[in-house]
A and B are shown apart, each in its own frame.
Chain A
Amino acid sequence: MATESEAEWEIKIPEKKLKDKLFFENLRAAVIDTKMCSRCLTCVSICPSKLLVNEEDAVDFPDYEEKCLDCGACVRVCPRYGYKPKSGLGDYIEFTAGQSKRFKGQDGAMATEFIFSAIDMGLIDRGIFVDRDEQWRTHVFHVRRKEQLEKLPLGGTKYVFADVIPELKKAVMLTKVGVGVVGTPCMVSGIRKLQDEFPVFKEKVKLVVGLFCTENFHYNEVSKYLEEKGVDFSKLVKTDIMKGKFVATMTDDEVKFKVSQLSGILPTGCNVCTDFTAVESDVSVGSVGSAPGFSTTVVRTEVAKEVWDYIKKMGNAEVGEGKVEELDFLINHKKEREKNIPEQ
């Protein structure tokens, strides 16, 4: 039956720093123009109009004067609008390491293991996965069964941003149980902001797996750079960062160079990011701090602890040992970027 209260409601919209301007112009002035945007795409996912990513891999809104509805959703969810940088290792319940027995691959295998164990537990009914095509462009998929993953054989670390959060919103709209998602620290922060602002995300996004991240690249820039370095994308097997060197393994060759050389194409958003371990996630996964083949696993919340206990109970993963002190270098390395954050 219709009641009066369900037909009337009130929404609090944020204050505008620049009065008389649209919310998008506020976002642009505070985040995009100051080069703080990490391109996590939280704003793109929530925008009811046409906020998008342009060809230069930046967040943009063509003809915003006409089409912006001025709802303020973008500034409500942007993790860099009123940026409160997070750093360090954060709170955790268990610091350990694991090696998935079911999934092969780089550090993503342990993240995949978490999502699939959560699906097996009935905690979630779909996970958001990133795959790549022949040209190493990223594509985002909803995966509901393990067999589906076998059809996505091109796993491995991509070091390229993917449109995870826009797909997450679609998944939230579709799911009946819950969604699990894997993301970089900036994406995790975006998801947490979405959850703070909108209860539907709080209810439906049940497991957020964060990845250790020093930086991530934009496809157009990194592909151009790697081609100059002699990387043939059609032959590329995997990319990795080992001991300060970027290694691109091809079927017949290997291209190696120092990571510092990539600083020229380092996205400006990463320059102000101080979060290495995805402090806000339910569980963080990364290769640093554990033996080769293992992934360091930082279990932070009760939900993730349940999934981790389930993984151990079912014997889905080999349990190893994590070394907290090995993370210190990269945590401090990222903390130094605090000085790059412009005054607001």
Chain B
Amino acid sequence: MKKVETPDYTASDKLKTHVSALGTAAKEMLIPLNITTHYPRERKRQPACFRGYMLFDPERCISCFQCSFVCPANAIWMKEAPSGRYYPTVDYGKCIFCHFCVDSCPGSALRTTKIHDVAYKTMDEMFTSTEELVEPPKIVREDKVVVDYVIDQEDLTLKRTKEVDELIVEVEPTPGVPLVSQCVDRGSCIACKICERVCESGAVSAVVDEATMTVQMSIDQEKCTGCGLCVKECSMQILSLFRK
């Protein structure tokens, strides 16, 4: 066993360390150095991929339910809009901000923001409807500057910059996979023509021929936008989306 002994300081050594300590104290008094962010007056700069509050663009949503299927916390509930389409609602009381929904959205209808400081008074308020997801939440902010961590040689220091961080990241939306609806079991079609009724782009046509008592069904592959409404509504579940 090795015994650690106190170094044998001379009087001049002691004086030198005391002067150095007083010098550091004097320097900290004049120019303080710390790594504490004075939140909420200032905020840390977040990376562009920060996983915060989500925004939703109904124009890009194809009601594929992928976000609600993939959600590991069961936070996404698809709700029927007056148009008959289904759009996601997010329960932030359950959301774990994994953003699997954002990653799996084929139409880039969901996108992430750097907003992480939405406050709720009750649990019910945390249930966010589709309408509330379209616009970013209104938050009164006090922050004036953004703070960055800077690793300066040996110290971890903070650099206070003058700009304000843009919380809503502009991300180029992915073009998405072009899909078309097709019938996978034509023999089982009951010709209820529901697909024709729900199609918004007029791609599905059902023509009844009274003379021969037949119904001519067709899906115009050019007009079809691959929204999947007919696939969802088909009473025999024989329509399916395919890559164009």
Contacts and interface: CB of A to CB of B under 8 A. Distances in A.
A329 interface: no
B158 interface: no
Interface string B194-222: 10000000000000100001111111110
A8 B219 CA distance: 6
Interface in A187-222: 198-201
Interface of A (DSSP majority class): mixed
Given A9-B183, A199-B187, A69 B214 contact: no
B interface, how many residues as a size bin?
20 to 34
Interface in B163-198: 180, 182-194
B183 A73 contact: no
Contact of B238 (A1, A12, A15, A200): A200
A201 B242 CA distance: 23
A200 B188 CA distance: 6
B218 A11 contact: no
Contacts of B46: none
Contacts of A201: 188
B214 A11 contact: yes
A319 interface: no
Contacts of B192: 48-49, 69, 71, 73
Contacts, number: 82
Nearest to A13: B213
B218 A199 contact: no
Contacts of A11: 186, 189-191, 214-215, 217
B244 A2 contact: yes
B161 interface: no
Given A9-B189, A48-B194, A2 B180 contact: yes
Contacts of B194: 48, 69
Which of A11, A46, A48, A73 gathers the greatest number of chain B CB atoms within 10 Å? Answer: A11
A178 interface: no
A11 B216 CA distance: 7
Given A6-B183, A9-B183, A69 B213 contact: no
A26 to B, nearest CB: 13
For the complex of A and B, the 6 pairs showing the least CB-CB separation, nearest first, are A48-B235, A48-B192, A9-B186, A73-B190, A71-B192, A200-B188
Interface of B: 180, 182-194, 208, 213-221, 235-238, 242-244
16 contacts: A2-B242, A2-B244, A4-B221, A6-B182, A7-B183, A8-B219, A9-B186, A9-B189, A9-B217, A10-B214, A11-B190, A13-B191, A46-B190, A48-B192, A49-B192, A76-B190
